[in-house]
Amino acid sequence: MNRTFTFLPPLLGGAALIALIAWFLPSWNFVLAIGLAKGLPVLGLVLLMRGGLVSFGQGLYYALGGYTVGLASQYFGLKDAAALLVISAIGSALVAFVVGLLLSRYRDIFFAMLTLALSMLLYGILVKSTELGGTDGFNVHGITLFGIPLTGADRMNGLLLLIAVCVLGAINLGLFGATAFGRLLAGVRDNEIRVEYLGASADRAVLIAYVLAAVMAALGGAMSGIIVGHIDPEMAFWATSGEFVVIAILAGTGGVLAPFVAAVVLEVVRSFAYQYAPNTWQLVLGLIILALILFLPQGLSGLVRRGPRAVNAGEKS
């Protein structure tokens, strides 16, 4: 098998495993769905981290995806999931391209803070505009896929669609990682000036990665809107983006499967933590980050893969 596709067997195996778990434990499929929906933005974030960039504003596109679904179904009566997902992806790609032209000139803290500011911009608009639901957001009803219901009693269908989207997203990013631009990202992280000396454009690599990450986040937000049936401005709030960052650190930058594993694990842990210790959940998250940075800088994927050229969480080696 071509080396590019080595990520495929574990990915498909993981997808099948999740589907099986959801089939046998139907009460868990909501938690699994939330976890997977969060895994998509994290997948994009991990891609950015390979270039040494941490975005504290992926919530911007998570919310854009969610609100695209909400607004299109509410005001235009568009109820088909496939069309909604395509519109979300294209819309967020356009926004990300324009914003990315500005952002791709920045690195490190400035990149992090600018992305944060942009997501808070959207949050500010969403919270204050009553036409868009204000602080409460609004409900999303009856989204179907070619006539197949996806929510309520048929949530399993929604989960299967989500798994399919995740697999496609992971394959997409796995393939991108093997292209010239994908390989350039590690160079941007390690030594940007040398990348430029070689005749490649670091800014362009960052821009492409940023747009891809935005599309992933939008798909996650759109699927979350469809399955949860509700969207609110919290999706654009920086705490949401911060959570993606936590999951991304947990996942590490090693592979395309790890973001989903990390997101689902964290979501399952959270559902227990909320039950038994609702006021110490963030404390646990914080300790996890510190422990990971100190002891496991490559995240969960570092446990599986012990290559000599391992990549730290957004760190220049």
Partner 1 sequence: MNGLLGAVVDGILYSAWLFIIAVGLTLIYGVMKILNMAHGTFYAVGAYVAVTLLGWWFAQGLPPWGIVPVMILSALVAGLVLGVVVERGILARFAGRDPIVLLLVTYALFLILEDVIKLIWGVDPWIASDPLWVFGQVEFGELIYPTYNLFIVVVAAVVGGLLTWFLQFTAKGKILRAVIHDPEVSRSMGINVGRWNLIAFITGSVLAALGGAFTAPTISVVPGMGVEVVVMMFAVVVIGGLGSIPGTVVGALIVGFVRSFAVHYWPELEVFSVYAVMALVLAIRPQGLFAGVELRKI
Give the contact letters, 264-293, x = binds to partner 1 (CB under 8 A), - = no.
Answer: ---------------xxxxx-xxx-xx--x
Tokens of 135: 């602080």
Contacting partner 1 within 151-180 (CB under 8 A): none
Closest CB to partner 1 among 39 and 314? Answer: 314
> Taking phi first (over 0 means left), then psi (-120 to 50 degrees means alpha), and beta for anything else, what does residue 63 get?
alpha
Looking at the chain, which runs of residues are DSSP E strands? 138-139, 144-145, 148-149, 230-231
Query: What six digits make up the tokens of 31?
Result: 């938690």
Task: Out of 80, 190, 196, 315, name the contact with partner 1 by CB under 8 A.
Answer: 315
Radius of gyration (Cα) for the chain, nearest Å? 19
Among 22, 37, 112, 261, binds partner 1 (CB under 8 A): 112
The residue within the footprint of partner 1, chosen from 239, 275, 276, 295 (CB under 8 A), is: 239
Q: Does 196 bind partner 1 (CB under 8 A)?
A: no
**In this chain, which stretch among 64-72, 121-129, 199-207, 255-263 interacts with partner 1, using CB under 8 A?**
121-129
Tell me which residue of 213, 267, 252, 253 sits closest to 62, measured CA to CA.
Answer: 213
Rounded-to-integer distance, Cα 60 and Cα 291, Å:
28
Residues 204, 58, 176, 292, Cα dihedral to 10°: 110
Q: How far, in Å, CA of 189 to CA of 311, rounded?
A: 10
**Could you say which of 74, 105, 151, 157 contacts partner 1 (CB under 8 A)?**
105
Stretch that binds partner 1, among 75-83, 177-185, 224-232, 306-314 (CB under 8 A): 306-314
Q: Is 129 in the site for partner 1 (CB under 8 A)?
A: yes
Specify the 3-state DSSP secondary structure of 80.
strand
The pattern of x and - marking residues 45 through 84 that bind partner 1 according to CB under 8 A reads -------x-x------------------------------
144-145 and 230-231 as β-strands: parallel, antiparallel, unpaired? Answer: unpaired
Stretch that binds partner 1, among 157-165, 239-247, 255-263, 302-310 (CB under 8 A): 239-247
The region of 5-13, 158-166, 208-216, 245-253 touching partner 1 under the rule CB under 8 A is 245-253
- CA dist 244 → 37, 128, 186, 232 (Å): 11, 25, 21, 17
By CB under 8 A, the count of residues binding partner 1 is 47
Alpha-carbon distance of 176 to 22, in angstroms, equals: 30
The number of CA neighbours under 13 Å toward the Cβ of 295 is 8
Nearer to partner 1, 94 or 98 (CB): 98
Cα separations in angstroms, 193 against 21, 187, 189, 190, 198: 48, 9, 10, 9, 9
Candidates 36, 96, 116, 257; binder of partner 1 (CB under 8 A) is 116
108 binds partner 1 (CB under 8 A): yes
Q: How far apart (Å, rounded) are the C-alpha atoms in residues 227 and 225?
A: 6
Q: How far is the CB of 135 from partner 1 (least distance, A)?
A: 11
Whose Cβ is closer to partner 1: residue 164's or residue 284's?
284
Q: List residues bridging with 121 in a β-sheet.
A: none
Does the footprint of partner 1 cover residue 44 (CB under 8 A)? no
Query: Which residue number, 1 or 193, has a Cβ lying nearer to partner 1?
Result: 193
| Contact residues: partner 1, CB under 8 A | 52, 54, 102, 105-106, 108-110, 112-114, 116-118, 120-121, 123-125, 127-129, 191, 193, 238-239, 242, 245-246, 249, 279-283, 285-287, 289-290, 293-294, 312-316
